[in-house]
């Protein structure tokens, strides 16, 4: 199986700018790799590129699973992981905006607002 292509400079810029707009400051978005199951029944893990950042006690991850296909999640602790209710996105902008919106709603709910 071919390796999933890394995030492009354009994809990274969209994520960095959107995260900056959400939090009102520059937030370091780091590159990493993760091993995930591409399909629920897969026994083998596939290494994929990841964009990761942390802010306000929350950690965010965007996984690139193929050319122009993305997954996302946010978490506070290993046992407290959340998704957006959508399995995959075909647009990096939609992926990051939805992730940040769902987390903002969750943050407000946690704080009782």
- The answer, yes or no, to whether residue 2 has pLDDT greater than 80, is no
pLDDT tens digit string along 80-96?
Answer: 899 999 999 999 999 99
Structure tokens belonging to residue 23:
């939090």
Higher-confidence residue: 43 or 96? 96
Structure tokens belonging to residue 15:
């994520």
pTM greater than 0.85: yes
- The answer, yes or no, to whether residue 57 has pLDDT greater than 60, is yes
In degrees and rounded to multiples of 5, residue 99 shows phi and psi of -60, -50
- The answer, yes or no, to whether residue 111 has pLDDT greater than 90, is no
pLDDT at residue 39, as a whole number: 86
């Amino acid at each position: 199986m071919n390796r999933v292509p890394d995030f492009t400079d354009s994809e990274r810029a969209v994520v960095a700018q959107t995260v900056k707009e959400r939090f009102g400051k520059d937030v370091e978005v780091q590159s990493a790799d993760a091993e995930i199951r591409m399909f629920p029944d897969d026994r083998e893990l596939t290494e994929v590129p990841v964009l990761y950042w942390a802010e306000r006690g929350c950690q965010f991850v965007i996984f690139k699973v193929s050319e122009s296909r993305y997954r996302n999640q946010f978490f506070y602790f290993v046992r407290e992981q959340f998704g957006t209710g959508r399995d995959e996105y075909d647009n990096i902008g939609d992926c990051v905006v939805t992730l940040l919106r769902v987390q903002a709603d969750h943050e407000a709910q946690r704080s009782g607002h």
